[in-house]
Amino acid sequence: MNNLLTVSNITKVYESGKRKVVGIQDISFCVEEGEFVSVIGPSGCGKSTLLRCIAGFEKINSGDICLDGHKVRRPEPSRFMVFQGLDQLFPWLTLKENIIFAMKAVDKSQGSFEKKADYYLELVGLEGFGNFYGYQLSGGMKQRAAIARALSVRPKLLLMDEPFGSLDAFTRRAIHQMLLNVWQKTGVTIIFVTHDMEEAIDLSDKILVFAKGRLKGLIENPLPRPRERDATAYRSFLLKLSSFLEEETTGFLDSEALSAVEAKLAF
């Protein structure tokens, strides 16, 4: 496998007025092409900040992010984000029109966008719903549509920030299965943020554990696919992950750590 993403020593500090808040501090890791990586940790530990930096939405204070050898400087279709919110589509366009809109913005050729849009709708299990509007769909269907639109621009990296956080448990199980099928079929590389340990275990190859803005550990998932939640190996891996997470605490960086970052960045 080839290395796709290299994150080297990145730090992001937010400044609101006089106050500085460390989003993430000195984070380094690599992602191989085709990998499914989760980022897990308590609320406020910097998961979204990390994803936003990789997407190019945030300017980092130090460090480097490289995708396929190119430095990340701004948002580009090579890195597509799917958010938690259920209203990510233009409400005045149908599902199919939303997908075609995204494809046309990226692909200037006069390809057969209709056919391609149908392919992506089918891929996420929404065949037959191309003429529906977002507001006519359930939460799960909206997230499927957001994934179809994201994939239609053929990103190298799909960034998913708690995309299924507002779905019920039944809908989640079905959408997990769909996402795994899509991942296997397209070979897209995924970084998936969650605070749900079972979701991270069910989906990913590698789990990055965050706490207080820092990367605390990188855990390889040893379980074969498909992952059965009642298997003994599953339960013991879940226990291992939860005890690792429990050792960490939630909240902001303490003032000592913040001063260390400030000194390093020479504000």
> Which of residues 7, 46, 124, 146 is near ligand ADP by CB under 6 A?
46
Minimum separation from the CB atom of position 41 to Mg ion (A): 9
Strand partners, 238: none
Residue 227: both structure tokens together: 């992952």
d(CA 104, CA 116): 11
Of 12 and 96, nearer to ligand ADP (C-beta) is 12
Residue 250 engages ligand ADP in binding (rule: CB under 6 A): no
Please name the residue that has the structure tokens 């939460």.
139
- Stretches 26-34, 41-49, 59-67, 87-95: which one binds ligand ADP (CB under 6 A)? 41-49
Partner touching 267 among ligand ADP, Mg ion, none, CB below 5 to 8 Å by kind: none
Spatial CA neighbour of 98 closest among 134, 139, 126: 134
- Stretches 40-48, 83-91, 97-105, 236-244: which one binds ligand ADP (CB under 6 A)? 40-48
Task: Note the helical H segments in 128-254.
Answer: 139-152, 169-186, 197-203, 232-246
Residue 49 engages Mg ion in binding (rule: CB under 5 A): no
Minimum separation from the CB atom of position 51 to ligand ADP (A): 8
Residue 123 engages ligand ADP in binding (rule: CB under 6 A): no
Spatial CA neighbour of 123 closest among 150, 160, 83: 150
Minimum separation from the CB atom of position 74 to Mg ion (A): 21
Of 121 and 199, nearer to Mg ion (C-beta) is 199
Residue 14 engages ligand ADP in binding (rule: CB under 6 A): yes
Spatial CA neighbour of 27 closest among 2, 75, 61: 61
Residues in contact with ligand ADP, shown as a per-residue x/- string from 197 to 216 under the rule CB under 6 A: --------------------
Residue 38 engages Mg ion in binding (rule: CB under 5 A): no
d(CA 66, CA 4): 8
d(CA 219, CA 243): 13
Judge contact between 160 and 36, C-beta under 8 A. no
- Stretches 14-22, 106-114, 163-171, 239-247: which one binds ligand ADP (CB under 6 A)? 14-22
- Residue 212 backbone class (left: φ over 0; alpha: ψ -120 to 50; beta: rest): left
Judge contact between 211 and 43, C-beta under 8 A. no
Instruction: DSSP for 45-58, please give it.
Output: SSHHHHHHHHHTSS
Please state the φ and ψ torsions of residue 222, each to the nearest 5 degrees. Answer: -85, -5
Spatial CA neighbour of 77 closest among 109, 54, 115, 106: 106
Residue 96 engages ligand ADP in binding (rule: CB under 6 A): no
Residue 88 engages Mg ion in binding (rule: CB under 5 A): no
Residue 49 engages ligand ADP in binding (rule: CB under 6 A): yes
Minimum separation from the CB atom of position 120 to ligand ADP (A): 28
> Which of residues 25, 48, 189, 204 is near Mg ion by CB under 5 A?
48
> Which of residues 5, 10, 23, 141 is near ligand ADP by CB under 6 A?
23
Can you give the binding site for ligand ADP, defined by CB under 6 A? 14, 16, 21, 23, 41, 43-49, 252
